[in-house]
Structure 1
Amino acid sequence: MIIQQAMVLAAGLGTRMRPITDTIPKPLVEVGGRTMIDRALDLLEEGGVTRAVVNVHHLADKMEAHLKGRRHPDILISDERDALLDSGGGARKGFRLLEDGPVFVMNSDLFWVEDGPKEQNSFRRLGDFFDPARMDMALLCVPPERTTGHNGKRDFSLGPDGRLKRYRDGMDDPVVYAGAIAMTTGLLCDAPEGPFSLNRTFDEAIARGRLFGLTLHGHWLTAGTPDAIGEAETALARLAAGARA
């Protein structure tokens, strides 16, 4: 399935990135000379996305000004200046600007470096994997050893059938949620107004046996604090050197 629309979650306060985020929103922090939100949008564009909603709150004017300079994908703004809606409430509001149907949801403060050719882009793979008949959501996941900047927490256990369960000590095949989802806009249509976390939606899908995961072919990076930027840039340089070798 080719999914051509996306919701990018970019409205957080970025408190752990202070003092940098006192003057710029976290998605505009540069890692390796490129903002994190542009790295995320690059991956979506390569995956076939032509329209993306981006929600804004903290230093929203700077976010909007930056995004106006981008031609692809087409960007729509979901304004949360009045009140933050958390990941679930933000996605629910943003979906109203998109067509009903399949959609990617992605966090704006993380990205990854792909292994292999561009036609194997992880969003294209995730779209092909997602089957709304048997899945509420398909999450892109990554083994902990293929991450940089992660806090070490194991989020899920990935079963042999692709189903995800919340990770508990001793479970097999631990994975980290890579911050990207394939789902349908209708999944949140009955959610209550106001803030709520997508974690609640994950747990509801697990209870129905309808939360699935796909393993990222690549290396996943995030930078949650000022000190972590250097770590991410070192990893990027290492990955680039390996690709040239």
Structure 2
Amino acid sequence: MTLVPLTQAVVLAAGLGTRLRPITDTMPKPLVPVAGKPMIDYGLDALADAGVSRAVVNVHHFADRMEAHLAAYPRLDIIISDERAELMNSGGGLKKGLSLLDPGIAYVMNADLFWIGEKHGSPTNLQKLAGFFNPERMDMALLCVPLERTTGHNGKRDFQLDQDGRLSRYVDGDNPVVYAGAIVLHSSLLDDAPDDAFNLNIYFDRAISKGRLFGVVMDGEWITVGTPDALPEAEAVIARHSTGV
């Protein structure tokens, strides 16, 4: 179990957001406002609420605008991982980002996925995930959500969550879950990773093959905004939560 709060994170924010065009023709996806708040700020706030003080954020699409926004974000010390020259995909971006932090355990967050409706007075979803992570048994711990508590998702079931908390790729089973876009891992997991672009799914599958991919089910409602049509639905869910309806 993690004995001290995690204080460092990597936020993956360099994607092109092609499915969100034409909105992303004029701005980076993480800065698209959802209910008046830039998408990435939901994730940054969640990290700050969990006790994180320093985060690496990778940038590529409209990188100057991302840097300006992140420089003004008040709650975290943010380090830029510059991918202007070449997109590194999820795995390459994560390895490069981790190299800018201290070796050790860290959060990993996707900038375009977030959640609302955590229970007040209880540990946050990220704090629960950190407390669950045990590097002796696990390569990674993933935050997960049941399909019925997702908004804007395409309906895909990512993993099967077994009674002992282990994850496997979903084929069948009675506890399918969606990957909610947050991970806790030890930076040494990627020590053997290539230095160029690669997909983090390689490490998910490697961990599954060793029985070392685990998951925790989050509280609240999970939101993704992949297309322009998903924006009104996301904002309606946020409005319902804010009014308690």
| TM-score range relative to shorter protein | over 0.9
Distance 2:241 2:215 in 1: 25
Q: CA deviation at 1:119?
A: 4.0
Deviations 1:78-115 (A, max 9, x none): 00001000000000001111000000000000110133
Picking from 149, 171, 174, the partner of 2:173 is: 171
Task: Report the residue type matching 1:34 in the other structure.
Answer: K
- Provide the residue aligned with 1:74 in structure 2: 77
Task: Report the residue type matching 2:231 in the other structure.
Answer: I
- Provide the residue aligned with 1:126 in structure 2: 129
Unaligned runs of 5+ in 1: none
**Given the superposition, is the C-alpha separation of residues 159 and 79 from structure 1 closer, same or farther in structure 2, using an over 3 Å criterion?**
same
- Provide the residue aligned with 1:210 in structure 2: 212
Q: Say how many residue pairs are matched.
A: 242
- Provide the residue aligned with 1:36 in structure 2: 39
Unaligned runs of 5+ in 2: none
- 1:181 counterpart SS class: strand
Distance 1:45 1:51 in 2: 9
- 2:14 counterpart SS class: coil
Q: CA deviation at 1:117?
A: 1.6
Task: Report the residue type matching 2:133 in the other structure.
Answer: F
Correspondence 1:99 to 2:98:
no
- Provide the residue aligned with 2:236 in structure 1: 234
Task: Report the residue type matching 1:9 in the other structure.
Answer: L
- TM-score using structure 2 length: 0.97
Picking from 132, 139, 142, the partner of 1:136 is: 139
Percent identity over the alignment is 60
Runs of 4+ in 1 over 4 A off after TM superposition: none
- TM-score using structure 1 length: 0.97
Q: Please, which moves more after superposition, 232-241 or 212-221?
A: 232-241
Distance 2:47 2:82 in 1: 21
Task: Report the residue type matching 1:177 in the other structure.
Answer: Y
Task: Report the residue type matching 2:46 in the other structure.
Answer: L
Deviations 1:125-181 (A, max 9, x none): 11100000100000000000000000000000000000000001x322000000000
- Provide the residue aligned with 2:191 in structure 1: 189
- Provide the residue aligned with 1:15 in structure 2: 18
Q: Is the 8 Å Cα contact of residues 126 and 138 (structure 1) preserved in structure 2?
A: yes
- Provide the residue aligned with 2:165 in structure 1: 162
Q: Is the 8 Å Cα contact of residues 151 and 222 (structure 2) preserved in structure 1?
A: yes
Distance 2:195 2:98 in 1: 13
Q: Is the 8 Å Cα contact of residues 114 and 121 (structure 1) preserved in structure 2?
A: no
Q: CA deviation at 1:239?
A: 1.7
